Amino acid sequence: MLFYATSTVADGSMKSPDRNFATVLPARTAFLRQHDIAPNDTTLVQVVYETDDFCRYITLTDEDKGDGIIRTPTIAADALVVTKPGHALFLPLADCIGAVIHDPMQNILMLSHLGRHNLEQTGGTKCITYLQEKHGVNSQDLTVWLSPAAGKDSYPLYAFNNRSLHDVATKQLLDAGIPRENITASPIDSAADEHYFSHSRYLQGDQSTDGRHAVVVTLR
């Protein structure tokens, strides 16, 4: 069974500005345990911006459990994949999308970060191509849930005629062959909803903390 959840401001910030996992471990642990997920069974999707490649995808093994959650992160990727139940993926977010991509036929799970940088590199299509080439998935079988993200009024994508993150991500997923009826986008604009952290709202002075909410997903 596929399970996913999104934290809110009430759960505390899920990422430390200094990238110190220990600083946010209490908030992360409380959120994970709230959903019966063990921190040592969870891996952080650590997005690193000091690069020119925003389409980095990695399939994990059991040895990667706990990376970035209970110990210093060692994996930098824009999406992570698990192929076994009981291995959770955890992605902190501010304005971007967390895409939960599931193949129910093979029970393969990907959690993909889709923001401006990787969408400009067609990341919404490339992450599906990775699943096809690495795991032999059929895009027609995939289901996708797109997390709350900033809307086009507060975060227009200039490279895409000011369209929203959700609109561009959906188009790229459709281009990858995923049926439209298999894609569900959250209606929540995280930059307008105070229940969620937003980096753009912080920069505008409308949010006191430059925090992050998070998406967690696992197969049970």
For residue 18, the model assigns a pLDDT of 72
The number of domains in the chain is: 1
Residues of the chain short of pLDDT 70, as ranges, are 202-203, 205-206, 208
**Strand ranges in the chain using DSSP code E only, listed in sequence order:** 2-6, 42-44, 57-59, 79-82, 88-93, 97-103, 108-114, 143-146, 183-185, 213-219
Measure the CA–CA gap between 80 and 16, rounded to whole angstroms.
20
The domain spanning residue 131 has which CATH number? Answer: 3.60.140.10
pLDDT for the residue 198: 84
In 3D space, the residue among 2, 72, 17, 6 whose CA is nearest the CA of residue 202 turns out to be 17
Question: Could you give the angle at which helices 123-135 and 165-175 cross, rounded to 10 degrees?
Answer: 40
Residue 81: which of 68, 96, 64 has the closest Cα? 64
What is the distance between the alpha carbons of residues 157 and 167, in angstroms, rounded to a whole number? 10
Domain enclosing residue 67, as ranges: 2-219
Buried b (16+ CB within 10 A) or exposed e, 164-202: bbbbbbbebbbebebeeebbebeeebbbebeebbbbebb
Which residue reads 């298999």 in tokens? 182
- Position 203 scores a pLDDT of 66
Residue type, 122: T
